[in-house]
Amino acid sequence: MNITLRQLKVFASVARHLSFTRAAEELHLTQPAVSMQVKQLESQLDSRLFEQLGKKIYLTEAGEEVFQYSRSIAQQLDEMETVLANLKGLGRGKLRISVATTANYFAPRLLAAFCKRYPGVNVIFSVTIRLSLLNQLGENVVDMVIMGQPPSGMELEAAPFMDNPLVVIAPPDHPLAGVKGIPMQRLEAESFLLREVGSGTRNAMQRFFDQHEISLTTSMEVSSDEAIKHSVQAGLGLGIMSRDAIGLELDMGRLAVLDCEGFPLLRQWYLVHRKGKRLSHIAEAFREFLLQEPI
């Protein structure tokens, strides 16, 4: 048997996504190249690793076993890389970090300041939705993530490092713009634009309104903060967003923050990694940078 690490890496990506197309996008390869690597691995193992039912693919029993081993091998290689990077000190090293989509409005600034302090660091940076962040933590493919309130059902270590106030936004010409002390119940007469199910912002607002027995009308569900901002500007409804995400629009007069009872919702941004994960010197330095430096 003569399998390669490349074959295992490609296979693991397909297994995570259950999609050759998404694996190709993640690995920056063509789909035929991904398929070829998987076929070569199946040939070496003399086992089918995937089966197709309709338009979907699924792991076979052999595929499930190989997926577990590939994750273990990847983790061992990751730990080896961490140890070697630690031996070299902070002058060199790799930091793999993913952030929630809303955090992308401030995370590049933080990373730029960190890289200025440690210019030899190679940062692998991605922006994605909350569900993908949790999957990346579970698969141990990142050092840490920046997100809102972490879930309670995973073995994670989370440290708050910055306030994340949520505010109600409206177009500047909305009848409630400029009104002081808007009662919470008044919001029931408005339509709201919501992020996708599972979004941290959506979870927070649903908890808040459920707690106060406020029933909201949903006009649209959208998949990004940018889409919400544009839709609110177009008059399609109100939105609830992190104030960090709307600074430019407020400065340019394209959006207004409503003075609503109970708002802003006071939340925090967290730096999160797997409990017990062996962090490299670089990752530890970034953690100290966020938790100890004024932001």
CATH of the domain at 253: 3.40.190.10
Which domain covers residue 261, as residue numbers? Answer: 166-266
Question: 171-198, pLDDT tens digit by residue?
Answer: 999 999 999 999 999 999 999 998 888 7
pLDDT of the residue at 88: 61
pLDDT of the residue at 281: 83
pLDDT at 294 over 80: no
- What is the domain-level CATH number for residue 17? 1.10.10.10
Peptide bond preceding 165 in cis form (omega within 30 of 0): no
pLDDT of the residue at 119: 84
Residues 10 and 59 in one domain: yes
Is residue 193 assigned to a domain? Answer: yes
Identify the three-state secondary structure at position 125.
strand
Q: Dihedral sign for Cα 4, 9, 15, 19, please.
A: negative
| Cα dist from 165 to 92, 127, 272, whole Å | 36, 20, 19
Residues 218 and 103 in one domain: no
Asked if residues 268 and 162 have their Cβ atoms less than 8 Å apart, the reply is: yes
Structural domains counted in the chain: 3
Is residue 84 assigned to a domain? Answer: no
Is residue 123 assigned to a domain? Answer: yes
Question: 120-171, pLDDT tens digit by residue?
Answer: 888 999 999 888 999 999 888 899 999 988 888 888 999 999 999 999 999 9
Residues 255 and 117 in one domain: no
Residues 130 and 248 in one domain: no
Asked if residues 82 and 280 have their Cβ atoms less than 8 Å apart, the reply is: yes
